Amino acid sequence: DQQVKQNSPSLSVQEGRISILNCDYTNSMFDYFLWYKKYPAEGPTFLISISSIKDKNEDGRFTVFLNKSAKHLSLHIVPSQPGDSAVYFCAASRPISGTYKYIFGTGTRLKVLA
């Protein structure tokens, strides 16, 4: 059962335009969400996060939007740059057994065309 889904395996965007990456989740117990970026043969690196009590968080070119009623979050990158080309994972956290668990999606490969 995939609790965190990224339905678009890949996305191509022109340099300077907006990239929008989407993520859906099924478990209403998730209360904290994160986005990670991954280059080939490297570990994922943290980009931005959002608590479920907020609907938007912004950090430079990156903005994450959360729609709790739809169980949907999105990552906006504006303007997109060739160096943004990577695989992006969303992650969701929920309590379990007195601690918290992080579940990741399947990833979206972003290609920014120069």
Judged by the rule CB under 8 A, the positions of this chain that interact with another protein are 6, 9, 31-32, 34, 36, 41-46, 49, 51-53, 89, 91, 93, 95-107
Residue 15 or 31 having the CB closest to another protein: 31
User: Rounded to whole angstroms, how far apart are CA atoms 29 and 33?
Assistant: 11
State the amino acid at position 7 in one-letter form.
N
Nearest approach, Cβ of residue 59 and another protein (Å): 12
The nearest distance, CB 111 to another protein, in angstroms, is: 16
Residue closer to another protein (CB basis): 83 or 98: 98
Q: Which amino acid is at 97?
A: S
Which residue, 38, 108, 36, 112, is CA-closest to 80?
112
Least distance from another protein to the Cβ atom of residue 94, Å:
10
* Nearest alpha carbon to residue 81 among 112, 111, 35, 45: 112
Closer CB to another protein, 69 or 97, in the complex: 97
Close Cβ partners of 60 (under 8 Å, ≥ 6 residues apart)? none
